[in-house]
Chains A and B, each alone.
Chain A
Amino acid sequence: MTKKSVAVLACAAAALVLTGPLKARSGRPAAELPFPLIERFEHFGLEQGLPAWKVHCVLADKGKVWVGTTKGLAVLEGKTFNVIGPDQGLSHSVVTALAVDPATGDLWAGTLRGLNRISAGKVETFTQTSSGLPNNVVYSVAVGKDAVWVATAAGVGRRDSRTGSWSLFDATNTLMHEPWAYAVTLSPEKLYVGIWAGGIVEQDLARGTWKEYRDPDGEFELDLAPDDGPISDISSWATWEDGILWQGSYFGVARYDGNRWKSYLEKKSPLVSNFVNFIAAKGRVAWICTDRGLTVTDGTSWATYKSAEGGGGTLEITRPGAPPERRRTATAMSNDFILGASITENEVWFATSHGLTRGILAGRNAQATGVRTTPTQGASR
Chain B
Amino acid sequence: MRMRGFATTATTGILVAAGLCAGARWHMLKMSGRKDLTGVKSCQTCHGRPRTVEELPWAKPRPHHASPGGLVVSPDGKRLFVALDDMDEVAEVDTVTLLVVRRSKVPGGPTGLALDPAGEHLYVTCRSGDRVAALETAMLKEVAAAPVGTAPVGIAWIPSQGSGRLVVANSVSDDVTVLSASPLASLGLLAGGREPYAVAASPDGSTAVVVSRMASLARGDEVPAAEVTVVDPAALRVVSRERLESGHLSEGICAVPGRPWTLSPILKVRNLVPITHAAQGWVVSAGVAVCDLSKGSVVELPLDETNAYFADPSGIAVEPSGKRAFIASAGANVVTVVDLARLSHWLETADDGARRGAIDDLQLSPEYVVARVPTGLNPRQVALSPDGRTLWVAERLQDSVLALDTGTLQPIGRVVLGDGGSNDPIRRGERVFARASTTFQGQFSCRSCHPDGHADGLAYDFDIDGVGRDIVDNRSLQGLAGTEPFKWTGKNPSLRVQCGPRFAKVLTRSDPFGERDLDDLDAFIFSLPPSRTRSSGPWTDAQRRGREIFFATGTTDGREIPYGLRCSTCHRPPLYTDHLPADVGTKGRADNTGLFDTPHLLGIAASAPFLHDGRAATLEEIWTVYNPKDQHGVTNYMNKIQLNDLIEYLKRL
Contacts and interface: CB of A to CB of B under 8 A. Distances in A.
Given A124-B191, A165-B648, A104 B625 contact: no
A128 B640 contact: yes
B209 interface: no
A121 B241 contact: yes
B621 A120 contact: no
B152 to A, nearest CB: 14
A106 interface: yes
A162 B173 CA distance: 8
Contact of A128 (B534, B535, B624): B624
A130 B535 contact: no
Interface stretch (A168-176, A272-280, A354-362): A168-176
A369 interface: no
B507 interface: no
Nearest to B191: A119
A80 interface: no
Contacts of B643: 132
B239 interface: yes
Interface residues of B, number: 34
A161 B174 CA distance: 12
A157 B328 CA distance: 46
A105 B534 contact: no
A104 B640 contact: no
B546 to A, nearest CB: 11
Interface string B229-245: 11000011111110000
B542 A165 contact: yes
Contact of A130 (B237, B617, B641, B644): B617
B412 interface: no
B641 A173 contact: yes
B239 A120 contact: yes
A318 to B, nearest CB: 43
Contacts of A164: 173, 534
Residue in A161, A163, A167 whose Cβ sees the most chain B Cβ within 10 Å: A163
Contacts of B236: 103-105
B651 interface: yes
Interface in A166-202: 166-168, 170, 172-173
Contacts of A122: 191, 227, 241
A121 B240 contact: yes
B190 interface: yes
A129 interface: yes
Nearest to B536: A163
A172 B642 CA distance: 11
Contacts of B227: 122
A105 B535 contact: no
Nearest to A130: B618
Contacts of B621: 129-130
Nearest to A135: B640
Contacts of A168: 640-641, 644
B98 interface: no
A124 B191 CA distance: 10
Interface string A129-157: 11110110000000000000000001100
A104 B241 contact: no
B620 interface: yes
A104 B190 contact: yes
A105 B617 contact: no
Nearest to B625: A129
B641 A172 contact: yes
Contact of A163 (B229, B238, B535, B625): B535
Nearest to B617: A130
B188 interface: yes
A105 B535 CA distance: 25
Contacts of B534: 162-164
Given A103-B188, A104-B189, A168-B640, A131 B618 contact: yes
A117 interface: yes
B156 interface: no
A280 B535 CA distance: 37
A120 B641 contact: no
Contacts of B624: 128-130
Contacts of A162: 149, 173, 189, 534
Contacts of B644: 132, 166-168
Given A130-B621, A132-B640, A105 B189 contact: no
Q: Which 3 A-B pairs have the closest CB atoms?
A: A129-B624, A120-B238, A132-B644
Interface of B: 149, 173, 188-191, 227, 229-230, 235-241, 534-535, 540, 542, 617-618, 620-621, 624-625, 639-641, 643-644, 647-648, 651
Interface of A: 103-106, 117, 119-122, 124, 128-132, 134-135, 154-155, 161-168, 170, 172-173
Given A129-B624, A131-B618, 20 more contacts: A103-B236, A104-B189, A104-B190, A104-B191, A105-B235, A105-B237, A105-B238, A119-B238, A120-B229, A120-B230, A122-B241, A124-B191, A162-B189, A164-B534, A165-B648, A165-B651, A167-B542, A167-B644, A172-B641, A173-B641
28 contacts: A103-B188, A104-B237, A105-B235, A105-B237, A106-B191, A106-B238, A119-B190, A119-B238, A120-B230, A122-B191, A122-B241, A128-B624, A130-B618, A131-B620, A132-B620, A132-B640, A132-B644, A132-B647, A135-B640, A162-B149, A162-B173, A162-B189, A164-B173, A164-B534, A165-B542, A165-B651, A166-B644, A172-B639
